[in-house]
Chain A
Amino acid sequence: MIRCKPMLGTYVEIQIDEAQVGLTSRQTHLAIDEAFASIALVQSLMGFHDRHSELSMINSYRADESLEIHPWTEKVLKTAQFICQESRGLFDCGVGRQLVNKKLLPLHQINHVPSNESSILSIQFLGNQIIRLTQAVCLDLGGIAKGFAVDEAVRALKLCGIQNGVVNAGGDLRVFGRQSHTVLLRSPRQANELIQIGSLREGAIATSSNHTIFHPQKGSTPIQGSYSIIAQECIYADALTKVLALSQDAHHPIFKNYQAESLWLPA
């Protein structure tokens, strides 16, 4: 059974093995519905386009203000901040303003914080899902939230008793269960060509192309190509593709910390 819905600005596919032990097709569908509902929640919390999302609320706050956020938002922000520190600022979700300036994201009526001052490092975690901003920010979680959404969808499926499956959110994908899955990569040279890059079991892979990635300090984009990371969880795979693209280093020490593999195909 494979289903697809438009979410997270792309097409999200959820595929589960028909031969699930002891589940009716109705239960299988309800499990997929639960997984889609988890993704919808991530989207409503962390979408930049949605001016009523928690992310937009954070982006509208001023320095020294505190607010309470959903535990999922807290987890994504904490992970994003941690990877920002480990990558010495290469991965910084504070690039929202630069993406607005490039017309890749919509402009909302928010604090127009200068892009060179916005950083994920301005968030302090006070516990109990309360955060405080040391400086106003313009965050975009587009480089990490999709991977997190995939992980939550997988968690929802497992809670419903699904043992094998694939969740694919426009190239951020995670496979779980006993089967190995062949992974294909869209060729960075020919958009209509796919290249078989390997086989994956119980893991995640994410791929970024260069044109939506910006260097937080220089504002430059990496050279053309396709940057993939294989990791245990999709949130890390998703975020680390940006570190690979910006560092241009397939052996960056951060990948070891997450037992991640990198794959870089120049265009």
Chain B
Amino acid sequence: MMYWKPTLLSIAGLAITASPILVQAKIYVSIEQAQQLLFPNQGLVKRPIIISKALQERMRQASSIRYPFTGERIWKTSDGSWLIIDEVVGKHEMITYAVGIAPNGSVKGLEILEYVESYGYEVADSKWRQQFIGKTASDPVKLNQDIQNISGATLSSKHLTDGVKRVLVLHELALKSSVSK
């Protein structure tokens, strides 16, 4: 049985006096959880690579993402699959995501790890992120409890599509041919 209890007296045209809440970071899954989700019960070995200038340029052309990719968070499975973690920065947000790539080079799966809305905040500033850690039930917004139930503007996932393109280029040019050990 549906039950809806409005907080606002919803009269069309009502001026809102409710106190606004600032949008925050959302953490979905950890790196370890993403590894389990994309490659359940498979051993992953960390295989970071140094991204050459030429490779960085090829990735930029394919995806039109300007800022550099860091080759730090890359793992390989024994059957030749790869897991790559990358970040894309949109107009107002930063998204950390994991891509699983099967041995044949196709995308096996995609999982979002974290979504941070910036709106002019310095998202790289860990202090700003720190303030959301340790929130309790008595706080006006309970991180990952209230915050996910947002009904409103649709968020575009275009930046992420570009991000996946560059990860696939990375796999094609630098990972596929790497000698498995």
Contacts and interface: CB of A to CB of B under 8 A. Distances in A.
Interface of A: 2-7, 9-11, 13, 15, 26, 29, 166, 168, 170-173, 175, 180-187, 190-203, 205-207, 209, 226, 228, 230-232, 250, 259, 261-266
Contacts of A173: 149-151
Contact of A263 (B6, B110, B160): B6
Contacts of B37: 3, 29
A255 B13 CA distance: 18
A191 B119 contact: yes
Contacts of B120: 192
A144 to B, nearest CB: 14
A202 B4 CA distance: 9
A198 B22 CA distance: 17
Interface stretch (B50-58, B66-74, B140-148): B140-148
B23 interface: yes
A16 to B, nearest CB: 11
**B37, B97, B148 — which one has the most chain A CB atoms within 10 A of its CB?**
B148
A3 B20 contact: no
Given A184-B146, A202-B3, A261-B4, A6 B110 contact: yes
Nearest to A184: B150
A47 B113 CA distance: 26
A190 B23 CA distance: 11
A199 B117 CA distance: 24
Closest 4 CB pairs of A and B: A186-B152, A193-B20, A192-B119, A203-B2
7 contacts: A4-B28, A173-B151, A191-B92, A194-B22, A198-B6, A200-B5, A203-B2
A193 B150 CA distance: 11
A228 to B, nearest CB: 6
A166 B20 CA distance: 23
Given A10-B156, A191-B92, A202-B3, 4 more contacts: A6-B112, A168-B151, A193-B22, A205-B151
A5 B152 CA distance: 18
A28 B133 CA distance: 26
Interface string B150-169: 11111111001100000000
Contact of A203 (B3, B97, B147): B3
Contact of B2 (A166, A185, A197, A201): A201
B13 A266 contact: yes
A203 B151 CA distance: 13
B16 interface: yes
Contacts of B147: 184
Given A10-B154, A170-B155, A181 B2 contact: no
A174 to B, nearest CB: 10
Nearest to A233: B2
A204 to B, nearest CB: 8
A33 to B, nearest CB: 8
A190 B148 CA distance: 18
B155 A168 contact: no
A250 B10 CA distance: 10
B8 interface: yes
B22 to A, nearest CB: 6
A13 B112 CA distance: 9
Given A166-B149, A168-B149, A187-B20, A5 B7 contact: no
